[in-house]
Structure 1
Amino acid sequence: MQCYYVLVHGTLQWTVAPPSDDLSQPDGFYCHRYVLAADERRAAEIAFGRVRSNLNRGGAWLSNGDALLTLSVDEIRAAPFYKLVKPDNRGHTFYEDDDGS
């Protein structure tokens, strides 16, 4: 078993309109997770599960079908084991596409 740093990129496709003209919906986000796994493939699976769970806990817009989520790994590498002791950073850096599409 190895500790891995996984940088996750999520893209969102919304199936509902924004709740008002003053609000926008993000096109995607970046976040990272430190996970314990047997290999990089399994580390990505674990990180994806944690990201999905965290997003659903915050508003359930994935589980109720308001948005479709696609996850990919932007970076994955071995990390020191002590990173597993720190609390998970559950933050996400959301972004909007600048061209308005």
Structure 2
Amino acid sequence: MGISKTEHFTDAQNQLATMLKALGHPARVAIIEYLLKVNTCICGDIVNELPLAQPTVSQHLKELKNAGIIKGSVEGTSICYCIDEEAVALLKAYFGNMAATLECNNNNCC
């Protein structure tokens, strides 16, 4: 595998790429959709909702948390997960700017 050369890109570009990479798996998209529906939950709730084993769900949660898309707080022997609103704001701003730029250009690229 080659070197990614992430040092040649801005911190914002690297952060966005990390978040988008984490969202690039259907199980993680399903987890995000579930968290949006219930607002907060523990890992066991997600395991009951998805056709995946508990260790697999935990790994996906870890990837989403490492990317900054979700937050987790310890409640007794469980971890309660929720969407990180700052991450959503960053994604919304990025895609909003992209959409606005395309509208201004009247999509005249090709």
Identify whether the pair has TM-score above 0.5, normalized to the shorter chain: no
TM-score by length of 2: 0.27
Q: Which has the higher Rg, Structure 1 or Structure 2? A: 2
TM-score by length of 1: 0.29
- Judging by fraction of residues, say which structure has more strand: 1
